[in-house]
Amino acid sequence: MWGDKGFLSLKPLASWTTELNNRIDFINNWISKGTPNHYWIPGFFFPQAFYTGIMQNFSRKREIAIDKIAFDFNVRDDLTVLYFQ
């Protein structure tokens, strides 16, 4: 029943609750401390909207057509995961 009310996840309830609390902390830190230097992308409930918003703001500021902007990602497995404290 709880799975129908929250964000999509295959995690059991205990892990899901931990992630929810991490997401809440992430957003609260953003509100109280200002824009973070880096973003925990899985912390967003709908990261696609965040990416779209970034591209829209960038294209408006630089007066570049949004369809000429793209993200480039480097997937790395040598980094330590950082969470807001």
Q: In the prediction, which pLDDT does 82 show?
A: 64
Structure tokens at 1: 């029943």
Q: Does 72 fall in a domain?
A: yes
* Residue ranges making up the domain that contains 65: 11-85
Q: Does 4 fall in a domain?
A: no
CA 69 to chain centre: 19
pLDDT tens for the chain, residues 1 to 85: 767 778 888 888 899 899 999 999 999 999 999 988 888 887 888 888 888 999 999 999 999 999 999 988 877 777 676 655 5
Q: Does 24 fall in a domain?
A: yes
Q: Does 69 fall in a domain?
A: yes
CA distances from 49 to 14, 53, 56 (A): 27, 6, 10
Q: Does 48 fall in a domain?
A: yes
Q: Does 30 fall in a domain?
A: yes
Domain count, the chain: 1
Q: Does 70 fall in a domain?
A: yes
Q: Which amino acid is at 12?
A: P
Question: Locate tokens 């899901």: which residue?
Answer: 16
Supply the DSSP symbol for 5.
Answer: T
Q: Does 29 fall in a domain?
A: yes
